[in-house]
Amino acid sequence: MSAFSYRARDRKGALVRGVLEGTNSAAIEDALDRIGLIPIDVAPLTTPMSIKRLKITPLLKKITGQDLIIFSRQLATLFGAGVPLTKALSTLERQITSTQFVEVVRSVREDIEGGSTFAAALSRHPKVFGELYSSMVEVGETGGILDEVLDRLAYLLEKASENRAKIKSATLYPKIVVGAIFFAVVFLMWFVVPKFSHLYANFNLSLPLPTKMLIALSGGMIRYWYLIVSFAVVVMAGLRLYRSTGRGRQRWDGWIMKIPVFGPIILKNIMSRFARVLGSLYKSGLPMLQSLDIVSRAVENRVISLAVKEIEAEVRGGNVISEQMAKYPFFPPMVIQMVAVGEETGGLDEMLEKVAQYYDQEVDSAIRNLTTSLEPVLLAVIFGMVLFLALAIFLPMWDMVRMVR
């Protein structure tokens, strides 16, 4: 599908300009005829100036999730107050602080002024407005509930942002401790251990095994640091490349859900997003099959995404969602039961929202207990390292004291 700009006349002879997507100019002319317009000129759309500006605009301030949340809230308020959509977008352009986001919103406004729908204009910026966003906006435009849909989108974005912040907060303490241990070990191996190694060599002592191991590790790090760094870079690049493949991403996403302590938190967060997005799409009036198709790309986990696609295929064949979910072990029984009740009572969107709220509370509780769970493990690691270093460094010193005596 390509974009074409057109000029046409309506039934009253007024000139109409706009942009449509189609396979060729003949298809665009047919589409114009069907909506009662007489084509004058149809040409492939060249890159708009707004897009050109976007490409050369310095990335002074990147577009963040918070920018999108504020944009959705403000646009819902303005549109709900009766402000025309293009006027509302123009107003927001003057309030947005991100230079890049200003260019995106300007491009969206210009496309709408050229005859495009709001959803189609948003879909031309998939890295900013994902498929979930543009699909729900399309539903809102069609059903005349755009302000409600924008409010719901802001709510979804806020919840997703909150949960990501919670996960980052939960992993901050372990990251700081592990990072401190890493830099302490590098400092000791690079600067402290070599001095003790020279000292022990001058006394011609028979060194114990821990000391020999420590000196060997220190010497290896100093002599072959470039090989170690190169190996680490290659491993990280290889892992990243492997994750970029379909099979690699699937295995990685399946593995992270099984990590002790962190895996259950990640799975609960995914279940919350799955239930909230599916419930919001269904409540907005989107057909269940299309809702499942969008959810499969919104859950951000390859394993569950493939499962949702398979559930969609089964539902298309006339099967019940809850029965298909029961085939997969990562869908908890509570989720399956709530979905089953929602299907039976006709209140699926309400049941899914309750599931999302439940798992939000579960994530909060798990994060509060995370530090308590990790402290014994981290203390054991630190104690083991300190004990090993103390024995490796001080055992030969005791032998030196005995020799002096």
Output the tens digit of pLDDT for each of the chain's 405 residues: 567 777 776 666 666 666 776 777 777 777 777 666 777 777 776 544 444 444 444 444 568 888 888 888 888 888 888 888 888 888 888 888 888 888 999 999 888 888 888 888 888 888 888 878 888 888 788 777 888 888 888 888 888 888 788 778 777 878 888 888 888 888 888 888 888 888 777 776 678 888 888 888 888 888 898 999 999 999 999 999 998 888 888 899 999 888 887 888 888 888 988 888 888 888 877 788 888 888 888 787 889 989 999 999 998 888 888 889 999 988 989 889 999 998 888 888 889 889 888 988 888 888 878 777 777 888 888 888 888 888 888 887 776 766 665
- Give the distance, in angstroms, between the CA of residue 269 and the centroid of all CA atoms in the same chain: 12
Query: What does the pLDDT read at residue 230?
Result: 94
Bridge-based pairing of strands 2-9 and 38-44 is antiparallel
Please check whether residue 62 lies inside any domain of the structure: no
Task: Compute the C-alpha angle 309/312/314, nearest 5°.
Answer: 115
Q: Domain tally for the chain?
A: 2
Where residue 304 sits, what CATH number does that domain have?
1.20.81.30
The H or E element that residue 42 is part of is strand 38-44
Tell me if 339 is assigned to some domain: yes
Q: Residue 138 falls within a domain, yes or no?
A: no
One-letter amino acid at 239 equals L
SS3 assignment, position 39: strand
Cα 49–chain centre separation: 30
Helix (H, G, I), strand (E, B) or coil at 138: helix
331 in helix, strand or coil? Answer: coil
Question: Measured between alpha carbons, how far is 350 from 358 in angstroms, rounded to an integer?
Answer: 12
Residues 175, 32 share a domain:
no
pLDDT at residue 368 in the model:
78
Distance CA 16, CA 301 (A): 45
Q: Domain for residue 158, yes or no?
A: no
Chain centre distance of CA 24: 36
Q: What range defines the domain where residue 31 resides?
A: 1-46
Residues 128/63, Cβ–Cβ less than 8 Å: yes
Any domain includes 262: yes
136 part of a folded domain: no
pLDDT value at residue 50: 41
Q: Looking at the DSSP assignment, which residues form a beta bridge with residue 20?
A: 4
Closest C-alpha to 140, from 79, 64, 74, 66: 79
Residue 145 lies in a domain: no
Q: Is residue 283 part of a domain?
A: yes
What strands, in cross-sheet order, belong to the sheet with 38-44?
A: 15-22, 2-9, 38-44
